[in-house]
């Protein structure tokens, strides 16, 4: 079954007259009759009841006519969207993101973009960095918003912003009300951190911060997402070093305290597949960079 066959059938079913349908389709009546007969043979059902005086739909023909209208409309819409998406005007934009991007302008960028480009549907999916890299490679997402990592050649990264690390402490911790804390003072505390298999960069970076402060952290618990790390700290399960953006998470059970000495920053990058980016992706990045600037802490 192809679209031409459906169009021919719909014309005859609506006109209930082969001559009028042929004129509507700009083909000869014998050719139309042949194609309809061939269509019925292909389906193995009779769609039209024919006599010398009239043409009528069979039960099977009535069912097909109803479905054919929907299929032809969908086909027309697909064609229109495909043509428009080639110019970045329509289609889907699939975006992976780390949790902290919720506080650095991603929601407002998505809303503004969809308001200005109503034919583009944005799909947001929370993923950690390694998941985003795989999704970009497999073309499951068009754009990633991720933390630093070692990326394969087919994944292109570009910096969006960077931010300092803060100590995330339970609200009742002795240092929770301090203006700053010396990281070395937390040497005996249980730490909560990513497994190295999930994020080797952040695992090693935070471990290096602790080593620079004179101790090797005791990693008591592990979590896959920053938001989970903060939640676990809130339950009193340990302390953590987290990017500054996380202080906007609004968890009353924790306090975020600046480090007295903090030379290392947490970068956030855009990820996409190597090669020319789709127009919608390039355009959305402009919106996102603007939203990131607007969301920067004062």
pLDDT of residue 195: 87
Q: How confident is the model at residue 233 (pLDDT cuts 50, 70, 90)?
A: very high
pLDDT in tens, 177-197: 999 999 999 999 999 998 888
Q: Compute the average pLDDT of residues 261-265.
A: 75
pLDDT in tens, 197-232: 877 778 888 999 999 999 999 999 999 888 899 999
The mean pLDDT value of the chain amounts to 88
Q: Which of 23-37, 75-89, 206-220, 257-271 has the lowest mean pLDDT?
A: 75-89
pLDDT of residue 245: 84
pLDDT of residue 277: 75
29 has a pLDDT exceeding 80: yes
Which of 186, 253, 248 lies closest to 220 in space, CA to CA? 186
pLDDT of residue 46: 93
263 has a pLDDT exceeding 80: no
pLDDT of residue 296: 78
Q: Compute the average pLDDT of residues 42-49.
A: 91
Q: Compute the average pLDDT of residues 138-154.
A: 90
Q: Which of 36-40, 48-52, 77-81, 233-237 has the lowest mean pLDDT?
A: 77-81
pLDDT of residue 297: 67
Domains, in order of start, for the chain: 3-85 (1.10.10.10), 91-159+267-295 (3.40.190.10), 164-265 (3.40.190.10)
pLDDT of residue 88: 55
What pTM does this model have? Answer: 0.62
pLDDT in tens, 70-102: 888 888 777 766 665 555 556 789 999 988 898
pLDDT of residue 80: 65
269 has a pLDDT exceeding 90: yes
pLDDT of residue 103: 86
């Amino acid at each position: 079954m192809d679209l031409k066959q459906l169009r021919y059938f719909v014309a005859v079913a609506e006109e209930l007259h082969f001559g009028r349908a042929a004129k509507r389709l700009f083909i000869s009546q014998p050719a139309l009759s042949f194609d309809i007969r061939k269509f019925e043979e292909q389906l193995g059902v009779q769609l039209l009841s024919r006599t010398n005086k009239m043409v009528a739909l069979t039960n099977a023909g009535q069912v097909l006519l109803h479905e054919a209208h929907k299929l032809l409309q969908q086909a027309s819409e697909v064609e229109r969207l495909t043509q428009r998406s080639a110019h970045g005007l329509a289609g889907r934009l699939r975006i992976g993101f780390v949790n902290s991007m919720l506080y650095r302008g991603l929601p407002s960028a998505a809303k503004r973009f969809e308001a200005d480009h109503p034919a583009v549907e944005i799909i947001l999916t929370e993923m950690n960095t390694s998941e985003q890299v795989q999704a970009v490679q497999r073309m499951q997402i068009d754009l990633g918003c991720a933390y630093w990592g070692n990326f394969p050649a087919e994944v292109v990264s570009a910096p969006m912003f960077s931010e300092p690390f803060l100590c995330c402490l339970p609200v009742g911790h002795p240092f929770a009300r301090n203006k700053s804390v010396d990281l070395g003072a937390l040497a005996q505390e249980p730490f909560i951190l990513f497994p190295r298999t999930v994020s080797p960069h952040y695992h090693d970076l935070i471990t290096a911060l602790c080593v620079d402060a004179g101790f090797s952290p005791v990693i008591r618990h592990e979590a896959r997402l920053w938001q989970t790390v903060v939640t676990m700290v809130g339950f009193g399960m340990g302390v953590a070093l987290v990017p500054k953006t996380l202080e906007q998470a609004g968890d009353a059970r924790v306090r975020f305290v600046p480090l007295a000495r903090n030379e290392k920053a947490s970068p956030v990058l855009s990820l996409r597949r190597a090669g020319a980016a789709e127009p919608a992706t390039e355009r959305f990045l402009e919106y996102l960079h603007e939203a990131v600037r607007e969301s920067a802490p004062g």
